Each structure stands twice: as structure tokens, then as C-alpha cells.
Amino acid sequence: MKTGALQTAMDAPRGGRPRDPQIQRAILKAAADLVLEIGFKVMSIDAVAVRAGVGRMTIYRRWPNKAAIVMDAFVARVDPGTLFIPAKNYLDSIRLQMRSMAKAFRGRDGSLIRALLAEAQFDPELATALRERWTMPRRRMAISYFEEGMRKGILRPGLDPDAIIDVLYAPIYYRLQMGTGPLSDAYIDEIFDHAMKGIKRE
């Protein structure tokens, strides 16, 4: 499943009237805004409903809990702009994808995922939603892309795609959470260039 088309379970009605996309967007925006304003722990379904101008049952027909809402809100904001995009060559598409992810994390979306990663350490529902709605779909997308690179002879054969993901993306999350420096294009290029020395086929 491509993450770009990751419309998660929230997009599939369980029967009855079709869902209003405007209501959907209002709920997701309210959830994201509230996490940034008051934090995930304090945020409630009632608060999201009030902010979005909908009833509680409208929310519960779409999501099982607030963790699922917040993660879908994050995915809706970040996912479409951080996919592997066409470039002049395969390796450039990886660099550009890493840069677009870092750019997203430099703003409000970085503050949002940082808050979610912190709260997930203490909230099992959020940890599950984070893994199932963001982490694993993104890893599946990247694994597929790196396997394609090996098939085409661009990357060294026999590499572990999971290890490639960790080498390329763990530094981004580390710097985001620890605040050790900016997520600049120059920093991304350094990560990319070092990683390519080990995984690119000569």
C-alpha cells in the first residue's frame, strides 16, 4: 500500500450517508490544533467536537479514540508532501524526499510529531496508533522503494531495507527530538552522502 494514498480507515464509511469531507477536515484540524495548544494528554474527544463544531457521535463514527484522530490528522498534514517524488534519477528522489520530510518537521508538523512521540511513551493507544498509522505504512513504502533500487542495480544487492531506513531517517528523528541542530538541507545532504557511500552500487 502506498503511503501517499494512505486514506486510512477514516475514509471508508461503515454504511449510511457518505461522509462530508469538510467535516472530516474540520475534525482533523481541530485535533492537531488542540495537541499543539494544550497537549495530547489534556485533549479530549469533547474538546475536538466543540472546536470542530460537530457532535461527539460524529467523531466516534469515524475514529475509535483520540489517538486515532490525532494520528490521522498528522498523516493528512504530512504524508502527501513527503513521498518519494520523480526526480532526474533514482538517488535524487531519495535525497529530495528526505529534504521534504525535514522541511515539514521544521514547522508546526515537527512540533506535532515531537509531542506525539513523547506522549506515546506513556499512552499505549497513542503508541499503537503512531505505529499503525504512520511508522509502519511509511516503512512499507520505503522498503518497496529500496527493493526497487536493488532490482535495478542502483543499490548494492542483498542490503537489508530496514537497515537502510534506519541509517537514512533515524538521524532526522534524533535531531528533531533532541534539538541538537537544525534540520537543514545541508544536514540532510550530509546524511544522504554518507549513507550512499555504503549502500550505492559502484
Closest CA to 62 of 27, 32, 30, 34: 27
The distance of Cα 140 from the centroid of its chain, to the nearest Å, equals 12
Q: What would the pLDDT profile of 158-198 be if each residue is shown by its tens digit?
A: 999 999 999 999 999 999 999 999 999 999 999 999 999 99
- In this structure, the answer to whether residues 65 and 128 fall within a common structural domain is no
User: With bands split at pLDDT 50, 70 and 90, how would you rate the model's confidence at 62?
Assistant: very high
Q: What would the pLDDT profile of 96-139 be if each residue is shown by its tens digit?
A: 999 999 999 999 999 999 999 999 999 999 999 999 999 999 99
pLDDT of residue 18: 52
Residues in the chain: 202
- In this structure, the answer to whether residues 144 and 174 fall within a common structural domain is yes
Cβ atoms of 24 and 7 closer than 8 Å? no
For the packed helices 108-120 and 66-78, what is the interaxial angle rounded to 10 degrees? Answer: 150
Last residue of a domain, one of 23, 45, 75: 75
Model confidence at 63: pLDDT above 80: yes
- In this structure, the answer to whether residues 26 and 121 fall within a common structural domain is no
103 within a domain of the structure (yes/no): yes
- In this structure, the answer to whether residues 25 and 122 fall within a common structural domain is no
User: With bands split at pLDDT 50, 70 and 90, how would you rate the model's confidence at 202?
Assistant: confident
**Domain around 51:** 11-75
CATH number at residue 124: 1.10.357.10
Number of domains in the chain: 2
User: With bands split at pLDDT 50, 70 and 90, how would you rate the model's confidence at 19?
Assistant: low
Dihedral sign, Cα of residue 155, residue 194, residue 97, residue 73: positive
- In this structure, the answer to whether residues 103 and 194 fall within a common structural domain is yes
pTM: 0.83
Q: What would the pLDDT profile of 135-163 be if each residue is shown by its tens digit?
A: 999 999 999 999 999 999 999 999 999 99
- In this structure, the answer to whether residues 56 and 134 fall within a common structural domain is no
What nine digits make up the cell of 19?
Answer: 461522509
Closest CA to 40 of 73, 66, 74: 66
Cβ atoms of 142 and 165 closer than 8 Å? yes
Cβ atoms of 69 and 31 closer than 8 Å? yes
CATH number at residue 71: 1.10.10.60
Closest CA to 71 of 123, 17, 1, 107: 123
**Distant-in-sequence, close-in-space partners of 80: CB < 8 Å, separation ≥ 6:** 4
- In this structure, the answer to whether residues 90 and 130 fall within a common structural domain is yes
- In this structure, the answer to whether residues 115 and 183 fall within a common structural domain is yes
Last residue of a domain, one of 75, 91, 109: 75
- In this structure, the answer to whether residues 63 and 158 fall within a common structural domain is no
The distance of Cα 155 from the centroid of its chain, to the nearest Å, equals 25
Q: What is the DSSP letter of 155?
A: B
Last residue of a domain, one of 34, 58, 75: 75
pLDDT of residue 144: 95
- In this structure, the answer to whether residues 187 and 137 fall within a common structural domain is yes
pLDDT of residue 23: 94
Q: Tell me if residue 182 falls in helix, strand or coil.
A: coil
Q: What is the DSSP letter of 133?
A: I
1 within a domain of the structure (yes/no): no
- In this structure, the answer to whether residues 104 and 181 fall within a common structural domain is yes
